[in-house]
Amino acid sequence: MDQTEKAYQKQGGVSIPARTVVAKKAKKTARYWKTVGLGFTTPKEAKEGNYIDKKCPFTGNVNIRGAILKGMVVSTKMKRTIIIRRNYLHYIKKFNRFEKRHSNMAVHCSPCFEPREGDIVTVGQCRPLSKTVRFNVLRTDKNQIFGNPRKVFMLF
């Protein structure tokens, strides 16, 4: 397991004997992973990777329940958190027309995904993970958006 933080990182469902840690690294360590259900497959990186993320829906202590949404990745500058943009149309009764609107949403992104700006992600609602984060990435779809992803209006 990667130990990049000051505190010792370990998975909750896996016990590591003290001798194994001190003596040498094992070839294949036990890894806890689960399926989130709802037709979403567990990524290969979550099953075979060596990252530790307690907020990951596949390897951590987070359950997906509630809304399933789609959005476009706008920013990946934070650590394990991305900003997605959700576009929608709002009806104006007076003019009998629609206007374009959008909302940004902070989403936790597990290390098993590596989204880039412009990618389409499917997110699922979970318990509050921080002050602003209430959703978790479940799937990424590569998208060919040319130019600035903030300027493109796409409905999903």
Residue 134 has pLDDT above 90, yes or no: yes
Confidence grade of residue 34 (pLDDT, cut at 50, 70, 90):
very high
Quote the pLDDT of residue 24.
Answer: 54
Quote the pLDDT of residue 16.
Answer: 63
Rounded to whole angstroms, the Cα distance separating 122 from 2 reads 27
Mean confidence (pLDDT) of the chain: 88
Quote the pLDDT of residue 18.
Answer: 57
Residues β-bridged to residue 123? 69, 137
Cα torsion 22, 32, 121, 113: sign? positive
SS (H, E, C) 5-50: CCCCCCCCCCCCCHHHHHHCCCCCCCCCCCCCCCCCCCCHHHHHCC
Find the range with the poorest average confidence among 30-34, 67-71, 97-101, 143-147: 143-147
Q: Kindly state the average pLDDT of the residues 131-146.
A: 90
Quote the pLDDT of residue 27.
Answer: 61
**Closest by Cα among 102, 64, 67 to 83:** 102
Rounded to whole angstroms, the Cα distance separating 65 from 53 reads 19
Length of the chain in residues, anyone? 156
pTM score of the predicted model: 0.83
